[in-house]
Structure 1
Amino acid sequence: MHAHLLLILPFLYLGLQVLLKLSRAISSPLKGIPGPFWTRFTSLWYLDRCRKGRFERDNIDLHQKYGPVVRISPDHYSISDISDIKIVYGPGSKFPKSAWYDGWRHPQQWTVFSDRDIKRHSENRKRFTGLYSMSSVVNYEPFVDRCIDIFSQRFNEFADRNQVFDLGHWFQCYAFDVIGDITFGQRFGFLDHGNDIDGAIKAVHQLLVYSTLVGIYPEWHHRLFETLSKFKSSGAAGRAYIAKFVREKISLLEQERNNVDKPTTETPKTQDFLTKMMKARDENPEKVTDYHLFIMGQSNVAAGSDTTAVSLSGIMWYLLNSPEALRKLRDEIHDFTQQGRCSVNITFNEAQQMPYLQAVMKEALRLHPATGLPMWRVVPAGGAQLSGQFFSEGTVVGVNSWVAHYDEQVFPDPKVFRPERWLESETEPEKLKEMNQMYMPFGLGSRTCLGKHISILEMSKLIPRIVRDFDLTPLRATMATSNFWFVKPTDFEVRVSRRI
């Protein structure tokens, strides 16, 4: 008798859970919000779609089918209306990040990116804003120049051998080496041979997959993390590897700084990121701690390479498939060179003065923003009115940058790569304002990516150098991608030749 009871208990529990979910779905005041059938009862539909790595396209299709608010799971809703986006992400927003972001941190640690505490995030962000400001970033330009010179050398070698290579991979090598030089004062060495040094690229990818999926069921993160960390092929192990890697780099920098026999030759302007942070820590240890050094170094490595590499791939893909835009950009670079406004090593300031280059970059990042999942936020106390529907406290809402960027009302013919739309809108201030409000390749509001200016620096200097000096031929008609937070190209194969 007791044995039979033990056997049926799990089924009773499962049945009870099903009944509870059905009851909540039927009685929910949000039951009228449309979405795929199974999203009313379970998050498994969303998990499955994310697992397939194409959710940026799925998300666009959902809004085209169902409208401005779509149910993604029982308590998660994707939004797309510009007025709702202002409420959720605008200045002074009280909508904190959702528990999905817990999957992006160690269970016993916090980071600036994943921090769900609005006040603490604001206080910590202020500590580092100066290091990431545009005025500070331009001082990192020599680090970028060094990496571009090596990158160009590799292109020349590929041209000599008529070699097919994966441009997306080499963009990641470039971005990794730049962020290594900027952060630690030393390249990692990815650009030397294109090898995945110490498995760092693989570790970051594993981390992306793990964090993307476990965040859908964040209550499992602390239970899975320690166990999975023991398996090298897991995303948890990827996070542990990156943490160990950063700690070792910081330790080496500390040893170098403590070596009194070593003369200091660097000026403050050319010091790397962590050297500046160490100086700030020494001057004000209560404000900047060793842990701040660690989390910022880790953030640079984990996020700094992928964001830039994905964006560079998007820019070059659309240029290579838009001959007229490519011709216009080359004409602009040529004209600037003839006028003495463009150096051999194109400076960031020179690149910023090129209107068509800036329009090309902006349009490509509209069509292919780096992140491809909703930026989930929690409705605060008191609830919120969005798209004529009241959302109670604790409900999770979010916008996907791909959904916003493909809005036909804001961007007519949204699938068309047309840099001119940004130049034309400069004569229509209200139109340009609306376009900028829906433009979010680096996030929105107070949670905008801290490393945005570093990424823009890297792209603004490399793209015109490639366009001016080389011809690239893609080998495929489409660029396959995989979306685990970052929408990364998987087979961007090209051939390269020198331009005369």
Structure 2
Amino acid sequence: MQIILFLGLVVVVYAVYFILSVLFAPLRNVPGPFLARFTNIWYLFQVHKGHVERKNCQLHETYGPVVRYGPKRYSFNSPEAIKTIYGHSTHFAKSSFYDAFMVPGVWNLFTERDIRFHASLRREFQATYSMSNLVNFEPYVDQCARLFDQRLHEVSAAGVPIDIGHWMQCYALDVISQITFAERLGTLDSGNDIGGVMKSLEDSFYYGSTVGIYGHIHPYLFAAISFLDRLTVRGNGQGFLYVVQLAQKKINAYKAKPAAIYEKADDGSEEFVSKFMKQNAANPERFTTDHMLTGCSMNIGAGSDTTGISLSAVLYYLLKNPGCMDKLREEIIAFGKDGKLSESPTYKQSQDMPYLQAVLKEALRLHPAVGQPLERIVPEGGATIDGKYFAQGTIVGVNCWAAHRNKAVWGQDADEFKPDRWLTTDTDKLSAMNRSWIPFGVGSRTCIGRHISMLEMCKLVPRIIRDFDFELVDGLQADWKTTAYWFVKPSNFRVRVRTCSAVS
């Protein structure tokens, strides 16, 4: 009985101490949901519901530029916060949230939290992912674009609606597989999820976006799930582990080919795995087989959802704004008549199309792929952000969705799709918008594959807008449905497709 009373007293004392420490904490005046002051369960519940990006925007709309979403978690939406937290000269490391996106023992650029080690790793990959190098992959992208074009013609002839969001990801997945391994996965052939890659990615991002909130439990939970998986008849890895295993199989198959197939002149035109093999052969201690695996698995793991989502967003907002669709099509047709746009549009040609580029930037502003704050840890000595001091160890971050809807930057029409805002002659305003436009992240952790995504979009969008008419099955008044588990992905984005009368 005395032991029970003692334990009860300990619990009461701890509870009182915890409550008082919260109520009298230095940052107690930072607003946010009441429950979020005491526990991360509030944030976990919002993520689980699948619309955390909307809630994050609502919090900033209600409370201002700095809001609380956990006991030691704070979200910002200002340009000043972006610069302070993510600037190249800052030392804000990623939080343990990112641990849940990795396979224990298999490092990758996205999840690596050590700033110096990440910088050294990134240097090994930087040249391969540069835009000057990636334009050499255009023939690979053209192959997939032509096949996608063929599928749309078939759909048009059949007169049946399709989930265009799914097909956009099929295109992106086949492109990234083609430029990584010199062969498509085959998703564009039938529209099927070949090998369950898409399903594995969806499971991975749900796991990472929820478990990451309690990142320290990831190694134990991952081990338990892997053990249970080995007990099944299938016995294959799931989620991120499945993607890593798939990449390793593809690498092994590529190595098994006759040397003459992949030993090409180093002119920048060969697939990623070939380039990685050459780097490994030249300096196996510096660029190891682990580098090869992480590069290839990183492409597959992050290279389809992001591009598929972004392409879907471009089409969705054009369909919701017919005037913008007409204006873009007019530009595309005019460039074609003037001989400035090929049958298979090139990346270089797309860069000379101002309205196309404005449409792409505006779609990525309103619907960036990532829907959760890009969490960082305040470094030793603390930091002042937006006029408030945050002690070291505090988790801070900017959600792209919130930053992209900050009316102080974008104006009262921040929630509207207006590509013309990017065509302003006001250089100061344009500069301010560009500083707050962060769909691929910002600073030293900017997405290394962003150029691949832009290459795919710049080549496909003018092609399909020129060749096809699209119609929302649910009508202009209905909003599409999305779910946010790290990535904000559309579901059942159904359209009807017809061969465009302008080119028929």
Q: Does 1:472 align with 2:473?
A: no
CA contact (8 A) 1:225 1:236 kept: no
CA contact (8 A) 1:39 1:45 kept: yes
CA contact (8 A) 1:205 1:235 kept: no
Aligned counterparts, 1:92-171, within 5 A: 92-171=89-168
- Secondary structure of residue in 2 paired with 1:270: coil
Partner of 2:363: 364
Separation of aligned partners in 2, 1:429 and 1:486: 32
Separation of aligned partners in 2, 1:260 and 1:387: 57
Separation of aligned partners in 2, 1:166 and 1:375: 30
CA contact (8 A) 2:174 2:185 kept: yes
Separation of aligned partners in 2, 1:134 and 1:158: 33
Count, aligned residues: 493
- Secondary structure of residue in 2 paired with 1:346: coil
- After superposition, give the CA deviation of every residue in 1:245-294 in whole Å (9 maximum; x if it has no partner): 111011111111xx357585677433101110110110111221000011
- Secondary structure of residue in 2 paired with 1:351: helix
Partner of 1:289: 288
Task: In structure 2, give the amino acid aligned to 1:247.
Answer: Q
Q: Displacement, 1:298?
A: 1.0
Q: Displacement, 1:235?
A: 12
Separation of aligned partners in 2, 1:237 and 1:13: 42
Partner of 1:434: 432
Over 3 Å counting, the alpha-carbon distance change for 1:10 and 1:153 in structure 2 is farther
Task: In structure 2, give the amino acid aligned to 1:489.
Answer: P
Separation of aligned partners in 2, 1:41 and 1:130: 45
Q: Which moved more, 1:448-457 or 1:281-290?
A: 281-290
Over 3 Å counting, the alpha-carbon distance change for 1:85 and 1:236 in structure 2 is farther
Separation of aligned partners in 1, 2:400 and 2:18: 30
User: After TM superposition, what 4+ stretches of structure 1 lie above 6 angstroms from structure 2?
Assistant: 8-13, 233-236
Separation of aligned partners in 1, 2:404 and 2:219: 35
Partner of 1:35: 32
Partner of 1:254: 255
Structure 1 residue runs of 5 or longer lacking an equivalent are none
Task: In structure 1, give the amino acid aligned to 2:181.
Answer: F
Separation of aligned partners in 2, 1:69 and 1:428: 28
Partner of 2:242: 241
Q: Displacement, 1:386?
A: 1.4
Partner of 1:222: 219
- After superposition, give the CA deviation of every residue in 1:2-37 in whole Å (9 maximum; x if it has no partner): xx957x888667656533431320231111111110
Task: In structure 1, give the amino acid aligned to 2:440.
Answer: F
- Secondary structure of residue in 1 paired with 2:489: strand
- Secondary structure of residue in 2 paired with 1:409: helix
Separation of aligned partners in 2, 1:360 and 1:351: 12
Partner of 2:421: 421
Over 3 Å counting, the alpha-carbon distance change for 1:285 and 1:261 in structure 2 is closer
- Secondary structure of residue in 2 paired with 1:35: coil
Q: Displacement, 1:156?
A: 0.7
- After superposition, give the CA deviation of every residue in 1:276-318 in whole Å (9 maximum; x if it has no partner): 0110110111221000011111111111101101100100000
Partner of 1:337: 336
- Secondary structure of residue in 1 paired with 2:26: coil
Over 3 Å counting, the alpha-carbon distance change for 1:225 and 1:13 in structure 2 is farther
Partner of 1:402: 401
Please tell me the root mean square deviation across aligned C-alpha atoms, in Å: 2.0
Which of 171, 175, 178 matches 1:178? 175
- After superposition, give the CA deviation of every residue in 1:414-437 in whole Å (9 maximum; x if it has no partner): 11111000001xx21111111001
- After superposition, give the CA deviation of every residue in 1:434-478 in whole Å (9 maximum; x if it has no partner): 100100010001100000000000000111111000001111221
Over 3 Å counting, the alpha-carbon distance change for 1:374 and 1:141 in structure 2 is same
Separation of aligned partners in 2, 1:92 and 1:261: 45
Q: Displacement, 1:92?
A: 1.1
Over 3 Å counting, the alpha-carbon distance change for 1:24 and 1:151 in structure 2 is same
Q: Which moved more, 1:234-243 or 1:271-280?
A: 234-243
CA contact (8 A) 2:263 2:274 kept: no
Q: Displacement, 1:338?
A: 1.1
Separation of aligned partners in 2, 1:220 and 1:24: 25
Q: Does 1:209 align with 2:209?
A: no
CA contact (8 A) 1:39 1:46 kept: yes
CA contact (8 A) 1:168 1:309 kept: yes
Q: Which moved more, 1:106-115 or 1:394-403?
A: 106-115
Structure 2 residue runs of 5 or longer lacking an equivalent are none
Partner of 1:446: 444
Which of 38, 47, 50 matches 1:50? 47
Partner of 1:305: 304
Task: In structure 2, give the amino acid aligned to 1:328.
Answer: K
Over 3 Å counting, the alpha-carbon distance change for 1:336 and 1:407 in structure 2 is same
Separation of aligned partners in 2, 1:235 and 1:15: 47
Aligned counterparts, 1:309-388, within 5 A: 309-388=308-387
CA contact (8 A) 1:35 1:66 kept: yes
CA contact (8 A) 1:207 1:236 kept: no
- After superposition, give the CA deviation of every residue in 1:119-156 in whole Å (9 maximum; x if it has no partner): 01111101101011010110010110000011011101
CA contact (8 A) 1:383 1:392 kept: yes
Which of 20, 23, 45 matches 1:23? 20
- After superposition, give the CA deviation of every residue in 1:34-76 in whole Å (9 maximum; x if it has no partner): 1110111100000000001101110010011111111110000
Over 3 Å counting, the alpha-carbon distance change for 1:11 and 1:229 in structure 2 is farther
Task: In structure 2, give the amino acid aligned to 1:156.
Answer: H
Q: TM-score, normalised by structure 2?
A: 0.94
Separation of aligned partners in 2, 1:171 and 1:287: 37
CA contact (8 A) 1:207 1:235 kept: no
Q: TM-score, normalised by structure 1?
A: 0.95
Task: In structure 2, give the amino acid aligned to 1:371.
Answer: V
Separation of aligned partners in 1, 2:6 and 2:310: 52
Task: In structure 2, give the amino acid aligned to 1:442.
Answer: F
Separation of aligned partners in 1, 2:32 and 2:262: 64
Separation of aligned partners in 2, 1:108 and 1:10: 39
Task: In structure 1, give the amino acid aligned to 2:304.
Answer: S
Task: In structure 2, give the amino acid aligned to 1:189.
Answer: G
Partner of 1:199: 196
Task: In structure 2, give the amino acid aligned to 1:87.
Answer: T
Partner of 2:56: 59
Over 3 Å counting, the alpha-carbon distance change for 1:398 and 1:260 in structure 2 is closer
Identity %: 44
